Amino acid sequence: MTTPTDERYHGERYHGIHAATVAPMGTDFQLDLNALKDHVGAVAGVHGIRGLLLNGHAGENFLLRADEKRQIIETTRATVSDDCLLIAGINAESSLDAADEARDALGAGADAIMVFPPNSWALGVDPGAVVTHHRVILEATDLPVFLYQAPVGAGKLAYPPDLLAGLAQLPRVVGVKEGSWEVGAYEANRRVVKSHAPHVAVMASGDEHLFTSFVLGSEGSIVSLAVIIPEVIVALDRAVRDGKLDTAREAHQIVYPLAKAIYGMPPASFATARLKTCLKLLGRLPCEITRPPVGPLAPAELTRLQEALNQVGLLKG
């Protein structure tokens, strides 16, 4: 039996930089587990990376079958060191299916789970149903839980302050991936969470806003850009914590153009395809395939990503 004093439920355990990984696939749209091993091993091996988010939005969680999500966790757990924390994304329209995913994550070796709001909530959802969804998942396992605060432009997926505060106070909630993608909303949500649940880690996750968010205050970050420039994200976080703002600004000059090229251009649904394409261009992924209906990227998109990688010195020529 676990108790409230179990160290797994201490928010401090999850502080630091966590990279949100992709799900490598072949031209047949099936998972490439060998490429996955190389991908997670390389990112997790970077000094200063505390852990990985598996099966997040960058990992195409809404397009993967339950058995594939489990395979990704199992393969990653067998590849990375035991001290690399694994957070498994849970994304299902049905609370019962989400609870099954949570049980799978526990059995596959995840250290914690992150509950994503079902996509249907973008049209509107009763706050009580949101709480029920999280409670059903919480009751399925004893794993620590991260909340996901959606971007301000994601319709009704972003929780209003009072609902976010209530969710943060649920048992075993240890953190929030704060993805508002707007600095004012980030600060407001951080203040709300800290005033009602000070033990909960608020992880800045708006990639081009990391510098500002870190200055405002954070316990770390959970971002997909960390699979491309993990050293830079780690250095940015460390520089802000050390009060070396000039050094932090230098890191931000690398983060910002990449973040804008990948996440700041419409349509937002192409972000994962852009992320994978960057990894392919850098020789870190054998194939940039994403599952339909996304991709392949138009030639103009490819050129723009190449230019962004050139601009920050990652890709020559």
Q: What domains does the chain contain, in order, with CATH numbers?
A: 10-243 (3.20.20.70)
Q: How confident is the model at residue 210 (pLDDT cuts 50, 70, 90)?
A: very high
Q: How confident is the model at residue 317 (pLDDT cuts 50, 70, 90)?
A: low
Cβ burial of 67 (10 Å; 0-12, 13-18, 19+) is exposed
pTM for the whole thing? 0.96
pLDDT of 1 reads 32
Q: What DSSP letter does each residue of 121-176 carry, written as one string?
A: GGG---HHHHHHHHHHHHHH----EEEEE--TTSGGGSPPHHHHHHHHTSTTEEEE
Mean pLDDT of 261-270: 92
Is it the case that residue 141 has pLDDT exceeding 70? yes
Is it the case that residue 209 has pLDDT exceeding 70? yes
pLDDT of 243 reads 97
Cα angle at 181 between 179 and 183, to 5 degrees? 110
Strand ranges, E, within the chain: 16-20, 49-54, 85-90, 112-115, 145-149, 173-178, 201-204, 220-223
Helix, coil or strand: residue 100: helix
First to last CA, the chain: 57
Is it the case that residue 191 has pLDDT exceeding 90? yes
% of the chain at pLDDT higher than 90 = 91
Mean pLDDT of 88-112: 98
